C-alpha cells in the first residue's frame, strides 16, 4: 500500500480535490464546475451554497508537520483564483449574484483525510478576510 506522500503531486492534488468535493457536498454545496482555468489563473471548484456562488481553492499536504494546508494560500495565489473566478462568473452570467472565495485544506496522511474549511477566506482583491 502506498502512502499519499509516495504519489506524484498532481495525483495527490486531484485526489484532494475529489475528497474536498465530496466533503463540501456533505455540507450542502452543489458543484457547478471543476478546474476552470484561464491564462491568468485557475479555480479548483465552483459550487453553490444556498444563494451564494463559491469559488473554492483546495490545498493539501501529506503531513501536518509543515503546518496547515491553508497556510499555502498567499495573496498571489488568491489573485489567480479571483481572475479565474471572474472569468467563470462573466461567462456564466453570475457577476450579479453573491460570490464568495472559500479555501478547503485537506490533510492526506496515513489515516482518514482531515478537512478544514474557511468560508470567505479572501476578498475580490485577494486579501485575506478578517
Domain-wise residue ranges, the chain:
4-122
Cα–Cα dist 5/114, whole Å? 15
Bridge partner list, 42:
37
- C-alpha closest to that of 44 among 91, 106, 97: 106
Residue that is written with C-alpha cell 478546474 in the block? 35
Residue 7: the pLDDT is 59
Residue 93: the pLDDT is 96
**Overall CATH class of domain 4-122:** alpha beta
Cα–Cα dist 71/118, whole Å? 11
Residue 123: the pLDDT is 95
pTM of the model: 0.89
Report the SS3 class of residue 61.
Answer: strand
Cα–Cα dist 29/6, whole Å? 31
For residue 128, give the DSSP letter: B
Residue pair 5/62 in contact (Cβ under 8 Å)? The answer is: yes
pLDDT per 10-residue tile (average), the chain, 130 residues: 53 90 98 97 97 96 80 93 98 96 91 93 92
Amino acid at each position: 500500500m502506498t502512502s499519499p506522500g509516495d504519489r506524484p503531486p498532481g495525483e495527490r492534488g486531484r485526489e484532494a480535490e475529489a475528497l474536498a468535493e465530496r466533503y463540501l457536498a456533505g455540507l450542502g454545496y452543489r458543484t457547478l464546475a471543476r478546474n476552470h482555468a484561464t491564462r491568468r489563473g485557475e479555480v479548483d471548484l465552483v459550487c453553490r451554497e444556498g444563494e451564494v456562488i463559491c469559488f473554492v481553492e483546495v490545498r493539501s499536504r501529506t503531513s501536518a508537520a509543515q503546518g496547515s494546508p491553508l497556510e499555502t494560500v498567499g495573496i498571489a495565489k488568491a489573485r489567480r483564483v479571483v481572475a479565474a473566478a471572474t472569468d467563470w462568473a462573466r461567462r456564466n452570467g453570475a457577476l450579479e449574484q453573491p460570490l464568495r472565495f472559500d479555501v478547503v485544506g485537506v490533510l492526506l496522511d496515513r489515516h482518514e483525510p482531515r478537512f478544514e474549511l474557511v468560508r470567505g477566506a479572501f476578498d475580490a482583491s485577494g486579501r485575506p478576510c478578517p
